[in-house]
Amino acid sequence: MLKKNDFGGKIRNIIFANLIFFVLFNTGINMYYTIKETRDALKKGEITSETLVNDSLNNFESDKSAPIPLNAFIEMFEDAISKAQDADKQIKTAIENGTIDALFSEKPLLGLPFAIKDNMNCKGHRLTCASKILEGYVAPYNATVIDRLEKAGAIPLGRCNQDEFAMGSSTEYSSYGPTRNPINREFVSGGSSGGSAAAVAANQVLFGLGTETGGSVRLPASYCGIYGLKPTYGTLSRWGIVAYGSSLDQVGILGHTPADIAEPLSLMAGIDMYDDTSADLPNCNELKNLQGLSESDFSKLKIAIPKQFLKTEGADPDVVECFAQTRAWFEKKGAHVEEVDLPILDASIASYYVIALSEAASNLSRFDGIRYGRRVDNQKGYDELYVDTRSEGFGPEVKRRIIIGNYVLSEQFSGDTYKKGMTVRARIQKEVAKVFESFDLILCPTCPTAAFKLGTKVDDPLEMYLSDLYTTFVNLARIPSISVPAGYTKKDKMPIGMQFAGKMFNESFILQVAQSWENDHKNCGIQLL
Q: How does pLDDT run across 95-120, given as a tens digit for each residue?
A: 999 999 999 999 999 999 999 999 99
In percent, the amount of the chain with pLDDT more than 90 equals 81
Phi, psi of 166 (to 5 degrees): 65, 25
Q: Is-catalytic flag, 3? A: no
Residues in the chain: 529
Cβ(203)–Cβ(29) below 8 Å: yes
The confidence band for 388, taking pLDDT boundaries of 50, 70 and 90, is confident
- Distance, in Å, from the CA atom of 103 to the CA atom of 39, rounded to the nearest integer, reads 12
- Distance, in Å, from the CA atom of 309 to the CA atom of 305, rounded to the nearest integer, reads 7
Mean pLDDT computed over 68-85? 97
Cis amide prior to 192 (ω within 30 degrees): yes
Q: What is the pTM of this model?
A: 0.93
Under DSSP, the state recorded for 293 is: P
Mean of all residue pLDDT scores within the chain: 91
The confidence band for 329, taking pLDDT boundaries of 50, 70 and 90, is very high
Mean pLDDT computed over 203-217? 96
Mean pLDDT computed over 37-42? 96
Q: Is-catalytic flag, 192? A: yes
Tell me which of 61-75, 177-191, 211-225, 404-418 is least confident: 404-418
User: Selecting from 3.40.50.300, 3.90.1300.10, 3.40.30.10, 3.30.450.20, what CATH number does the domain 7-300+481-520 have?
Assistant: 3.90.1300.10
Q: Which pLDDT value is given to residue 22?
A: 34
Phi, psi of 338 (to 5 degrees): -140, 140
46-65 as b/e, with b when 16 or more CB fall inside 10 Å?
Answer: ebbbbbbbbbbbebbeebee
Q: Which pLDDT value is given to residue 257?
A: 95
pLDDT digits (tens, 9 = 90+) for 457-514: 988 888 888 899 999 999 999 999 999 999 999 999 999 999 999 999 999 999 999 9
Q: Which pLDDT value is given to residue 374?
A: 81
What residue spans of 202-316 are helical by DSSP H?
218-224, 258-268, 295-300
Mean pLDDT computed over 153-160? 98
Q: Which residue has the higher pLDDT, 370 or 20?
A: 370
Q: In what order do the strands lie in the sheet with 441-445?
A: 73-76, 155-160, 113-117, 207-212, 250-255, 227-230, 481-488, 495-501, 441-445, 302-306, 336-340
pLDDT digits (tens, 9 = 90+) for 265-297: 999 999 999 999 999 999 898 899 999 999 999
Tell me which of 15-29, 45-59, 358-372, 448-462 is least confident: 15-29
Does residue 244 carry a pLDDT above 90? yes
Does residue 33 carry a pLDDT above 60? yes
Name the active-site residue from 192, 278, 358, 483.
192
Name the active-site residue from 117, 230, 457, 503.
117
In percent, the amount of the chain with pLDDT more than 70 equals 92
Rg (CA), the chain: 22
Q: Which pLDDT value is given to residue 527?
A: 53
Does residue 20 carry a pLDDT above 60? no
Question: What single string gives the DSSP state of each residue in 390-403?
Answer: HHHHS-HHHHHHHH
Does residue 2 carry a pLDDT above 50? no
pLDDT digits (tens, 9 = 90+) for 165-186: 999 999 999 999 999 999 999 9
Name the active-site residue from 193, 216, 237, 266.
216
Q: Which pLDDT value is given to residue 18?
A: 35
Does residue 19 carry a pLDDT above 50? no
